[in-house]
């Protein structure tokens, strides 16, 4: 199976950008603000049966500032549009191949609206869960880490890679805003021909979105609808601010026809994140005030509880419960329904 992934990235680029190795951030520095590369990646070997994302075979159409004219035509021709924000520990290659998998997985639902062109925004995650250089220090600090945790302090070198990604995700917010602003003509073109546009943010990609929404407003950008449906899956961001739900959900609701939050109390990775961050995560429960219909009217918000679904797919690992949105057909099929403009609002239990 061959899949085209349009992408934009604020990872530092070396060379002409035609190879995955031209993009630092596989193991290196955060992006250089204001430097966003646009191109197309071609992914081979995506296998839905074995849940394999495939390999990045080639990169073409490299251009700074915006997609080139020919790529723009491909991007807006025929299909609906899916914008993907990846999560923690995704290398540049991961951000492209996982976007390809998501495209094919959703298309396999058989729902025409879910057969989309996909655009991935690749922010500079380090692509690792634990830095090998931190392992010895983390083990030596084991007893101290436990003692600190008892008084509400989390401190371990084993979390350094996670915190590096968290900082990179926050720093990428301005470039993500710039990317969306440049993408607005393409979004408008899709809408004018009767197509639909979707945002899918997974894990720490929601942290990028949370920080981007404040910048969107501060920059005075239009608050007209960008996304027909904004989908948050396994959000690695706080579930409350000062006793109410996170403030960014409200402006996201204004930029979207509807917002769907997919959460699962069985998400083991977010359980670890909760320990590291000392606060409940949005992707485990939805917002703290999710029953407030004034704040979250049913026609604009959905909170989808996926905890009861069984993952019987192959190759299960510790990370599998955090990937439920792309491993469990029941979640996929619900996403496909809402991409077609269907599906009940409010609280939904799958």
User: Is 266 a residue whose pLDDT tops 90?
Assistant: yes
Cross-strand partners of 256? 227
- Average pLDDT on 128-132 reads 61
- What is the structure's pLDDT at 144? 38
Contact (Cβ atoms closer than 8 angstroms) between residue 98 and residue 90: yes
> Binning pLDDT at 50, 70 and 90, where does residue 146 land?
very low
Q: Would residue 7 count as lying in a domain?
A: yes
Q: Would residue 256 count as lying in a domain?
A: yes
User: Is 141 a residue whose pLDDT tops 60?
Assistant: no
User: Is 192 a residue whose pLDDT tops 80?
Assistant: yes
- What is the structure's pLDDT at 33? 57
Gyration radius of the chain's alpha carbons:
19
Contact (Cβ atoms closer than 8 angstroms) between residue 273 and residue 281: yes
Q: Would residue 134 count as lying in a domain?
A: no
3-19 burial, b if ≥16 CB within 10 A, otherwise e? bbbbbbbbbbbeeebee
Per residue in 30-73, pLDDT (tens digit) is 555 568 999 999 999 999 999 999 999 999 999 988 998 888 88
Closest-CA residue to 175 (of 251, 258, 64, 257): 64
> Binning pLDDT at 50, 70 and 90, where does residue 24 land?
confident
Per residue in 92-103, pLDDT (tens digit) is 999 999 999 999
CA dist 263 and 307 (Å) reads: 7
Q: Would residue 302 count as lying in a domain?
A: yes
Q: 3-state DSSP call for residue 267?
A: coil
CA dist 140 and 136 (Å) reads: 6
| Out of 95-99, 194-198, 274-278, least confident range | 274-278
Residue 94 per-residue DSSP state = H
Average pLDDT for the chain = 88
Query: What is the span of the domain harbouring residue 289?
Result: 2-128+160-349
- What is the structure's pLDDT at 79? 93
- What is the structure's pLDDT at 203? 97
Using CA atoms, how far residue 328 sits from 66, 114, 158, 165, 312, in Å, is 35, 16, 30, 26, 8
Q: Would residue 137 count as lying in a domain?
A: no
Contact (Cβ atoms closer than 8 angstroms) between residue 331 and residue 324: yes
Q: For residue 222, give both structure tokens.
A: 């239009």
Q: Would residue 323 count as lying in a domain?
A: yes
CATH (domain of 79): 3.40.50.1820
Q: Would residue 251 count as lying in a domain?
A: yes
DSSP 53-80: --EEEEEEEEEESS--HHHHHHHTSSSE
What backbone torsions phi and psi does residue 321 show, to the nearest 5 degrees? -65, -25
- What is the structure's pLDDT at 3? 97
Per residue in 6-18, pLDDT (tens digit) is 999 999 888 899 9
Number of domains composing the chain: 1
User: Is 115 a residue whose pLDDT tops 90?
Assistant: yes
Percent of the chain predicted with pLDDT > 90: 72
Q: Would residue 143 count as lying in a domain?
A: no
User: Is 311 a residue whose pLDDT tops 70?
Assistant: yes
CA dist 131 and 133 (Å) reads: 5
Cα 235 to chain center, whole Å?
Answer: 8
Residue 109 per-residue DSSP state = T
């Amino acid at each position: 199976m061959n899949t085209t992934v349009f992408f934009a990235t604020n990872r530092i680029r070396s060379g002409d950008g035609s190879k995955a190795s031209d993009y630092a951030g596989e193991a290196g520095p955060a992006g250089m603000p204001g430097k966003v590369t646009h191109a197309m990646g071609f992914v081979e070997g995506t296998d839905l049966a074995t849940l394999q994302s495939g390999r990045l075979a080639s990169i073409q159409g490299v251009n700074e500032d915006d997609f080139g004219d020919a790529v723009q035509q491909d991007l807006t021709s025929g299909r609906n549009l899916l914008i993907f924000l990846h999560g923690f520990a995704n290398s540049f290659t991961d951000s492209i191949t996982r976007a390809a998998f998501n495209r094919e997985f959703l298309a396999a639902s058989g729902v025409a609206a879910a057969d989309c062109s996909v655009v991935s925004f690749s922010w500079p995650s380090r692509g690792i869960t634990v830095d090998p250089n931190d392992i010895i220090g983390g083990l030596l600090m084991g007893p101290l880490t436990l003692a600190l945790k008892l008084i509400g302090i989390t401190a371990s070198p084993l979390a350094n890679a996670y915190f590096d990604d968290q900082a990179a995700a926050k720093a990428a917010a301005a470039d993500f805003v710039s990317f969306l602003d440049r993408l607005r003509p393409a979004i408008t073109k899709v809408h004018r021909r009767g197509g639909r546009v979707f945002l899918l943010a997974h894990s720490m990609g929601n942290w990028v979105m949370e920080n981007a929404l404040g910048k969107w407003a501060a920059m005075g950008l239009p608050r007209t609808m960008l996304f027909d449906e904004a989908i948050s899956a396994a959000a690695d961001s706080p579930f409350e601010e000062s006793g109410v739900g996170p403030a960014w959900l409200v402006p996201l609701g204004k930029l979207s026809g509807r917002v769907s939050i997919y959460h699962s109390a069985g998400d083991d990775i977010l359980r670890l994140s909760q320990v590291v961050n000392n606060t409940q995560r949005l992707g485990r429960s939805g917002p703290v005030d999710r029953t407030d219909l004034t704040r979250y009217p049913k026609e604009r918000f959905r909170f989808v509880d996926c905890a009861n679904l069984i993952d019987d797919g192959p190759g299960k690992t510790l990370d599998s419960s955090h990937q439920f949105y792309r491993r469990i057909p029941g979640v996929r099929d619900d996403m496909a329904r809402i991409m077609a403009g269907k599906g009940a609002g409010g609280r939904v239990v799958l």
